[in-house]
Amino acid sequence: MVCEYKGCNLENFEENDYCILHLDFPPYESDPEFIRINALKEKAVENKISNRDYNFKGVILYNANFNELKIKNDLIFTNSYIKNDFNGKRSEINGDIWFDGVKINGNCLFEQSKISGTASFFKGEVKGNINFDKSSIGKYAWFEEFKANGEASFNHTVIGSSLSLKKSFIEDNVSFYGAKIGGYAWFDEAFIGGNTWFDLTDIKGGLSFKKTVFKNIRGKERAYRSAKIVWERLGDRDRGDYHFYHEMEAKRKQKPFYIRYPELIVQYPFGYGVHPSRLLFTFLGVLILFGLIYWFIKGNYSMNDLFENMRFSFLTLIIPAYGVINAKSGILGIFIIIEAFIGAFTWPTFIVTFARKYMR
Protein backbone atom coordinates (compact mmCIF):
# COMPACT_ATOMS: atom_id res chain seq x y z
CA MET A 1 0.00 0.00 0.00
CA VAL A 2 1.11 3.55 -0.78
CA CYS A 3 1.27 6.32 1.83
CA GLU A 4 -1.98 8.29 2.00
CA TYR A 5 -0.15 11.64 2.12
CA LYS A 6 -0.87 13.36 -1.20
CA GLY A 7 2.09 13.16 -3.58
CA CYS A 8 4.02 10.59 -1.52
CA ASN A 9 4.97 7.34 -3.28
CA LEU A 10 6.56 5.56 -0.32
CA GLU A 11 5.05 2.40 1.13
CA ASN A 12 2.98 2.44 4.29
CA PHE A 13 4.81 1.77 7.52
CA GLU A 14 3.68 -1.55 8.95
CA GLU A 15 -0.11 -1.41 9.43
CA ASN A 16 -0.40 2.39 9.34
CA ASP A 17 -1.92 4.58 6.63
CA TYR A 18 1.27 6.61 6.24
CA CYS A 19 4.90 5.99 5.44
CA ILE A 20 7.53 6.29 8.15
CA LEU A 21 8.28 9.93 7.25
CA HIS A 22 4.66 11.08 7.39
CA LEU A 23 3.80 8.97 10.42
CA ASP A 24 3.20 10.90 13.64
CA PHE A 25 5.21 10.16 16.78
CA PRO A 26 3.82 8.43 19.87
CA PRO A 27 2.87 10.97 22.55
CA TYR A 28 5.77 10.32 24.97
CA GLU A 29 9.43 10.70 24.05
CA SER A 30 10.45 8.19 26.72
CA ASP A 31 8.31 5.52 25.07
CA PRO A 32 10.51 2.83 23.41
CA GLU A 33 8.21 2.98 20.39
CA PHE A 34 8.98 6.70 20.07
CA ILE A 35 12.71 5.93 20.03
CA ARG A 36 12.24 3.18 17.46
CA ILE A 37 10.10 5.38 15.18
CA ASN A 38 12.61 8.22 15.41
CA ALA A 39 15.52 5.92 14.46
CA LEU A 40 13.58 4.65 11.44
CA LYS A 41 12.74 8.21 10.39
CA GLU A 42 16.40 9.21 10.56
CA LYS A 43 17.30 6.18 8.42
CA ALA A 44 14.63 7.12 5.87
CA VAL A 45 15.99 10.67 5.68
CA GLU A 46 19.49 9.35 5.08
CA ASN A 47 18.19 7.16 2.28
CA LYS A 48 16.46 10.08 0.56
CA ILE A 49 19.61 12.19 0.84
CA SER A 50 21.77 9.39 -0.57
CA ASN A 51 19.32 9.18 -3.50
CA ARG A 52 19.52 12.97 -3.92
CA ASP A 53 15.86 13.28 -3.18
CA TYR A 54 15.29 16.43 -1.15
CA ASN A 55 11.52 16.56 -1.26
CA PHE A 56 10.41 16.34 2.38
CA LYS A 57 6.97 17.86 1.93
CA GLY A 58 4.71 17.18 4.91
CA VAL A 59 7.17 14.99 6.82
CA ILE A 60 7.20 14.72 10.61
CA LEU A 61 10.69 14.61 12.15
CA TYR A 62 12.22 15.01 15.57
CA ASN A 63 15.40 16.71 14.35
CA ALA A 64 16.38 17.77 10.85
CA ASN A 65 20.15 17.85 10.36
CA PHE A 66 21.19 19.13 6.94
CA ASN A 67 24.58 20.60 7.86
CA GLU A 68 27.22 21.04 5.17
CA LEU A 69 25.15 19.44 2.42
CA LYS A 70 25.52 20.24 -1.27
CA ILE A 71 22.15 20.08 -2.98
CA LYS A 72 21.90 20.55 -6.73
CA ASN A 73 18.15 21.22 -6.80
CA ASP A 74 15.42 22.41 -4.40
CA LEU A 75 15.11 21.64 -0.70
CA ILE A 76 11.42 21.21 0.11
CA PHE A 77 9.93 21.13 3.61
CA THR A 78 6.51 22.59 2.78
CA ASN A 79 3.91 21.90 5.51
CA SER A 80 6.40 19.76 7.44
CA TYR A 81 6.61 19.46 11.21
CA ILE A 82 9.95 19.39 13.08
CA LYS A 83 9.60 18.66 16.80
CA ASN A 84 13.01 20.10 17.65
CA ASP A 85 15.59 22.05 15.56
CA PHE A 86 16.20 22.38 11.86
CA ASN A 87 19.91 22.68 11.23
CA GLY A 88 21.15 23.63 7.77
CA LYS A 89 24.40 25.42 8.59
CA ARG A 90 27.10 25.76 5.93
CA SER A 91 24.94 24.09 3.28
CA GLU A 92 25.04 24.87 -0.43
CA ILE A 93 21.70 24.69 -2.26
CA ASN A 94 21.74 25.39 -5.99
CA GLY A 95 17.95 25.72 -6.18
CA ASP A 96 15.28 27.14 -3.88
CA ILE A 97 14.30 26.26 -0.35
CA TRP A 98 10.56 25.88 0.22
CA PHE A 99 9.44 25.99 3.85
CA ASP A 100 5.92 27.34 3.31
CA GLY A 101 3.65 26.31 6.17
CA VAL A 102 6.47 24.59 8.04
CA LYS A 103 6.27 24.23 11.83
CA ILE A 104 9.53 23.99 13.75
CA ASN A 105 9.35 23.70 17.55
CA GLY A 106 13.00 24.69 18.01
CA ASN A 107 15.43 26.86 16.08
CA CYS A 108 15.85 27.14 12.33
CA LEU A 109 19.51 27.66 11.48
CA PHE A 110 21.01 28.45 8.08
CA GLU A 111 24.18 30.32 9.06
CA GLN A 112 26.94 30.51 6.44
CA SER A 113 24.78 28.80 3.85
CA LYS A 114 24.49 29.56 0.15
CA ILE A 115 21.06 29.41 -1.48
CA SER A 116 21.16 30.15 -5.18
CA GLY A 117 17.42 30.65 -5.60
CA THR A 118 14.57 31.81 -3.40
CA ALA A 119 14.05 31.18 0.31
CA SER A 120 10.33 30.96 1.06
CA PHE A 121 8.83 30.61 4.55
CA PHE A 122 5.32 31.83 3.73
CA LYS A 123 3.02 31.18 6.73
CA GLY A 124 5.82 29.21 8.40
CA GLU A 125 6.25 29.05 12.17
CA VAL A 126 9.43 28.71 14.26
CA LYS A 127 9.13 28.48 18.03
CA GLY A 128 12.75 29.49 18.56
CA ASN A 129 15.14 31.67 16.56
CA ILE A 130 15.59 31.83 12.81
CA ASN A 131 19.15 32.55 11.76
CA PHE A 132 20.62 33.27 8.32
CA ASP A 133 23.78 35.08 9.49
CA LYS A 134 26.59 35.29 6.90
CA SER A 135 24.47 33.49 4.32
CA SER A 136 23.52 34.37 0.76
CA ILE A 137 20.13 34.08 -0.93
CA GLY A 138 20.39 34.51 -4.68
CA LYS A 139 16.85 35.68 -5.38
CA TYR A 140 13.94 36.47 -3.07
CA ALA A 141 13.44 35.98 0.67
CA TRP A 142 9.72 35.60 1.36
CA PHE A 143 8.66 35.46 5.01
CA GLU A 144 5.15 36.88 4.68
CA GLU A 145 2.78 35.91 7.51
CA PHE A 146 5.72 34.14 9.12
CA LYS A 147 5.91 33.66 12.89
CA ALA A 148 8.99 33.33 15.10
CA ASN A 149 8.80 33.22 18.89
CA GLY A 150 12.49 34.09 19.08
CA GLU A 151 14.57 36.48 17.02
CA ALA A 152 15.16 36.82 13.29
CA SER A 153 18.83 37.31 12.49
CA PHE A 154 20.20 38.13 9.03
CA ASN A 155 23.50 39.76 9.97
CA HIS A 156 25.92 40.10 7.04
CA THR A 157 23.48 38.23 4.82
CA VAL A 158 23.35 38.93 1.08
CA ILE A 159 19.91 38.81 -0.56
CA GLY A 160 19.96 39.16 -4.33
CA SER A 161 16.45 40.56 -4.74
CA SER A 162 13.68 41.70 -2.38
CA LEU A 163 12.85 40.67 1.17
CA SER A 164 9.32 40.54 2.55
CA LEU A 165 8.20 40.06 6.14
CA LYS A 166 4.77 41.57 5.60
CA LYS A 167 2.25 40.60 8.28
CA SER A 168 4.92 38.54 10.03
CA PHE A 169 5.26 38.12 13.80
CA ILE A 170 8.73 38.28 15.41
CA GLU A 171 8.57 38.01 19.18
CA ASP A 172 12.17 39.10 19.81
CA ASN A 173 14.83 41.11 17.97
CA VAL A 174 15.16 41.69 14.23
CA SER A 175 18.75 42.14 13.09
CA PHE A 176 20.09 42.92 9.60
CA TYR A 177 23.44 44.36 10.68
CA GLY A 178 25.75 44.69 7.67
CA ALA A 179 23.28 42.91 5.36
CA LYS A 180 22.97 43.62 1.62
CA ILE A 181 19.55 43.54 -0.04
CA GLY A 182 19.35 43.91 -3.81
CA GLY A 183 15.69 45.01 -3.88
CA TYR A 184 13.10 46.20 -1.38
CA ALA A 185 12.66 45.18 2.26
CA TRP A 186 9.02 45.14 3.38
CA PHE A 187 7.90 44.88 7.01
CA ASP A 188 4.39 46.31 6.49
CA GLU A 189 1.76 45.29 9.07
CA ALA A 190 4.27 43.11 10.90
CA PHE A 191 4.75 42.77 14.67
CA ILE A 192 8.25 43.14 16.16
CA GLY A 193 8.60 42.54 19.87
CA GLY A 194 12.29 43.31 20.42
CA ASN A 195 14.91 45.74 19.22
CA THR A 196 15.94 46.28 15.60
CA TRP A 197 19.34 46.65 13.94
CA PHE A 198 19.82 47.91 10.40
CA ASP A 199 23.23 49.50 10.93
CA LEU A 200 25.51 49.35 7.88
CA THR A 201 22.71 47.67 5.91
CA ASP A 202 22.88 48.29 2.15
CA ILE A 203 19.37 48.27 0.65
CA LYS A 204 19.09 49.04 -3.06
CA GLY A 205 15.30 49.44 -2.96
CA GLY A 206 13.19 50.82 -0.13
CA LEU A 207 12.74 49.83 3.51
CA SER A 208 9.11 50.01 4.62
CA PHE A 209 7.47 49.73 8.06
CA LYS A 210 3.98 50.90 7.13
CA LYS A 211 1.49 50.02 9.90
CA THR A 212 4.14 47.92 11.65
CA VAL A 213 3.54 47.30 15.36
CA PHE A 214 6.53 47.59 17.71
CA LYS A 215 6.52 46.46 21.32
CA ASN A 216 9.98 47.95 21.91
CA ILE A 217 9.90 51.74 21.45
CA ARG A 218 13.67 51.97 21.04
CA GLY A 219 13.46 49.34 18.31
CA LYS A 220 10.71 51.34 16.60
CA GLU A 221 12.84 54.48 16.61
CA ARG A 222 15.83 52.68 15.11
CA ALA A 223 13.73 50.96 12.44
CA TYR A 224 11.94 54.08 11.24
CA ARG A 225 15.15 56.11 11.25
CA SER A 226 16.84 53.50 9.06
CA ALA A 227 13.85 53.49 6.68
CA LYS A 228 13.81 57.29 6.55
CA ILE A 229 17.46 57.38 5.51
CA VAL A 230 16.89 54.78 2.78
CA TRP A 231 13.88 56.58 1.27
CA GLU A 232 15.60 59.97 1.36
CA ARG A 233 18.58 58.49 -0.43
CA LEU A 234 16.19 57.16 -3.09
CA GLY A 235 14.54 60.57 -3.39
CA ASP A 236 11.10 59.42 -2.21
CA ARG A 237 10.25 62.30 0.13
CA ASP A 238 6.71 61.15 0.91
CA ARG A 239 7.80 57.77 2.26
CA GLY A 240 10.76 59.42 3.94
CA ASP A 241 8.40 61.83 5.72
CA TYR A 242 6.13 58.96 6.77
CA HIS A 243 8.98 57.15 8.50
CA PHE A 244 10.40 60.41 9.93
CA TYR A 245 7.04 61.13 11.58
CA HIS A 246 6.96 57.72 13.29
CA GLU A 247 10.61 58.02 14.29
CA MET A 248 9.80 61.29 16.07
CA GLU A 249 6.73 59.70 17.66
CA ALA A 250 8.94 56.91 19.06
CA LYS A 251 11.41 59.48 20.40
CA ARG A 252 8.57 61.36 22.11
CA LYS A 253 7.35 58.22 23.87
CA GLN A 254 10.81 57.67 25.39
CA LYS A 255 10.92 61.13 27.03
CA PRO A 256 9.84 61.94 30.62
CA PHE A 257 6.08 62.34 31.05
CA TYR A 258 6.35 66.12 31.60
CA ILE A 259 7.82 66.40 28.10
CA ARG A 260 6.13 63.41 26.46
CA TYR A 261 2.56 64.64 26.88
CA PRO A 262 3.00 68.37 26.08
CA GLU A 263 4.82 67.33 22.90
CA LEU A 264 1.55 65.83 21.65
CA ILE A 265 0.80 69.36 20.45
CA VAL A 266 3.85 69.16 18.18
CA GLN A 267 2.94 65.68 16.96
CA TYR A 268 -0.75 65.94 16.13
CA PRO A 269 -1.62 69.56 15.23
CA PHE A 270 1.82 70.31 13.76
CA GLY A 271 2.59 66.82 12.40
CA TYR A 272 6.33 67.23 13.11
CA GLY A 273 6.52 69.52 10.09
CA VAL A 274 5.63 66.88 7.48
CA HIS A 275 1.82 67.19 7.41
CA PRO A 276 0.78 70.66 6.18
CA SER A 277 -2.85 69.56 5.98
CA ARG A 278 -2.90 69.09 9.76
CA LEU A 279 -1.58 72.60 10.25
CA LEU A 280 -4.16 73.99 7.85
CA PHE A 281 -7.02 72.30 9.72
CA THR A 282 -5.53 73.44 13.04
CA PHE A 283 -5.36 77.01 11.71
CA LEU A 284 -8.98 76.90 10.52
CA GLY A 285 -10.13 75.32 13.78
CA VAL A 286 -8.44 78.01 15.89
CA LEU A 287 -9.79 80.73 13.60
CA ILE A 288 -13.39 79.53 13.92
CA LEU A 289 -13.11 78.79 17.66
CA PHE A 290 -11.82 82.23 18.61
CA GLY A 291 -14.16 83.96 16.16
CA LEU A 292 -17.10 82.31 17.94
CA ILE A 293 -15.63 83.22 21.35
CA TYR A 294 -15.39 86.90 20.36
CA TRP A 295 -18.94 86.74 18.98
CA PHE A 296 -20.39 85.36 22.21
CA ILE A 297 -18.41 87.69 24.48
CA LYS A 298 -19.49 90.79 22.57
CA GLY A 299 -23.12 89.69 22.77
CA ASN A 300 -24.20 90.97 19.36
CA TYR A 301 -25.44 87.82 17.64
CA SER A 302 -26.07 89.18 14.16
CA MET A 303 -24.54 87.44 11.14
CA ASN A 304 -22.64 90.59 10.16
CA ASP A 305 -21.03 90.71 13.58
CA LEU A 306 -20.15 87.00 13.29
CA PHE A 307 -18.38 87.59 9.97
CA GLU A 308 -16.60 90.61 11.43
CA ASN A 309 -15.32 88.54 14.36
CA MET A 310 -14.16 85.81 11.98
CA ARG A 311 -12.26 88.43 9.99
CA PHE A 312 -10.69 89.78 13.18
CA SER A 313 -9.74 86.24 14.25
CA PHE A 314 -8.13 85.58 10.86
CA LEU A 315 -6.09 88.82 10.98
CA THR A 316 -4.98 88.08 14.55
CA LEU A 317 -3.69 84.65 13.49
CA ILE A 318 -1.71 85.76 10.44
CA ILE A 319 -0.63 89.17 11.92
CA PRO A 320 -0.35 88.65 15.70
CA ALA A 321 0.59 92.30 16.22
CA TYR A 322 -2.76 93.34 14.75
CA GLY A 323 -4.68 91.53 17.46
CA VAL A 324 -2.41 92.69 20.28
CA ILE A 325 -2.67 96.35 19.20
CA ASN A 326 -6.45 96.11 19.02
CA ALA A 327 -6.78 94.06 22.19
CA LYS A 328 -9.19 95.39 24.79
CA SER A 329 -9.10 94.99 28.52
CA GLY A 330 -10.96 92.24 30.29
CA ILE A 331 -11.55 88.67 29.24
CA LEU A 332 -11.85 89.58 25.54
CA GLY A 333 -8.33 90.98 25.57
CA ILE A 334 -7.01 87.83 27.22
CA PHE A 335 -8.46 85.63 24.46
CA ILE A 336 -7.05 87.95 21.78
CA ILE A 337 -3.54 87.67 23.28
CA ILE A 338 -3.88 83.86 23.47
CA GLU A 339 -4.90 83.68 19.80
CA ALA A 340 -2.08 86.03 18.79
CA PHE A 341 0.37 83.77 20.63
CA ILE A 342 -0.98 80.69 18.80
CA GLY A 343 -0.85 82.51 15.47
CA ALA A 344 2.77 83.50 16.02
CA PHE A 345 3.64 79.79 15.76
CA THR A 346 0.91 78.27 13.60
CA TRP A 347 0.96 80.45 10.48
CA PRO A 348 4.79 80.60 9.99
CA THR A 349 5.02 76.87 10.66
CA PHE A 350 2.37 76.19 8.02
CA ILE A 351 4.27 78.26 5.43
CA VAL A 352 7.56 76.48 6.18
CA THR A 353 5.92 73.02 6.16
CA PHE A 354 4.07 73.72 2.92
CA ALA A 355 7.27 74.91 1.24
CA ARG A 356 9.21 71.88 2.50
CA LYS A 357 6.52 69.46 1.36
CA TYR A 358 5.75 70.73 -2.12
CA MET A 359 8.50 73.08 -3.28
CA ARG A 360 11.81 71.38 -2.51
Q: Are 79 and 60 in contact (CB under 8 A)?
A: no
pLDDT of residue 360: 54
Residue 326 scores a pLDDT above 80: no
pLDDT of residue 318: 86
pLDDT of residue 265: 79
Residue 19 scores a pLDDT above 60: yes
Specify the range with the lowest mean pLDDT, choosing from 84-88, 157-161, 171-175, 234-238: 234-238
pLDDT of residue 329: 67
pLDDT of residue 61: 97
Q: Are 103 and 81 in contact (CB under 8 A)?
A: yes
Average pLDDT value for the chain:
91
Q: How far apart are CA 188 and CA 245, in angstroms?
A: 16
pLDDT of residue 258: 85
pLDDT of residue 358: 63
Q: How far apart are CA 126 and CA 106, in angstroms?
A: 7
Residue percentage of the chain with pLDDT more than 90: 66
Task: Please indicate whether residue 120 or residue 303 has the higher confidence score (pLDDT).
Answer: 120
pLDDT tens across 49-86, in order?
A: 999 999 999 999 999 999 999 999 999 999 999 999 99
Specify the range with the lowest mean pLDDT, choosing from 68-77, 258-267, 270-279: 270-279
Task: Please indicate whether residue 330 or residue 134 has the higher confidence score (pLDDT).
Answer: 134
pLDDT of residue 224: 96
Integer Rg of the chain from CA:
30
Residue 332 scores a pLDDT above 70: yes
Task: Kindly tell me the burial class for residue 70, based on how many C-beta atoms sit within 10 Å of its own C-beta (0-12, 13-18, 19 or more).
Answer: exposed
Average pLDDT of 86-103? 97
Task: Please indicate whether residue 165 or residue 306 has the higher confidence score (pLDDT).
Answer: 165
pLDDT of residue 355: 64
Residue 356 scores a pLDDT above 80: no
pLDDT of residue 172: 97
Instruction: Give 116-125's long-range contacts (Cβ < 8 A, gap of 24+).
Output: 117/74, 117/93, 118/142, 120/96, 121/146, 122/146, 124/99, 124/100
Average pLDDT of 343-358? 72
Q: How many CB atoms lie within 10 A of CB 356?
A: 14
Q: How far apart are CA 35 and CA 43, in angstroms?
A: 12
Which residues of 41-142 form beta strands (DSSP E)?
60-61, 64-65, 70-71, 75-76, 81-82, 86-87, 92-93, 97-98, 103-104, 108-109, 114-115, 119-120, 125-126, 130-131, 136-137, 141-142
pLDDT tens across 160-189, in order?
A: 999 999 999 999 999 999 999 999 999 999
3-state helix vs strand vs coil in the chain, percent to 5: 40, 15, 45
pLDDT tens across 22-31, in order?
A: 999 998 888 9
CA 322, 324, 328, 331 torsion-angle sign: positive
Q: Is residue 323 very low, low, confident or very high in pLDDT (cuts 50, 70, 90)?
A: confident
Residues 6+ apart with CB under 8 A from 319: 343
Q: Are 324 and 340 in contact (CB under 8 A)?
A: yes
Q: How far apart are CA 95 and CA 111, in angstroms?
A: 17
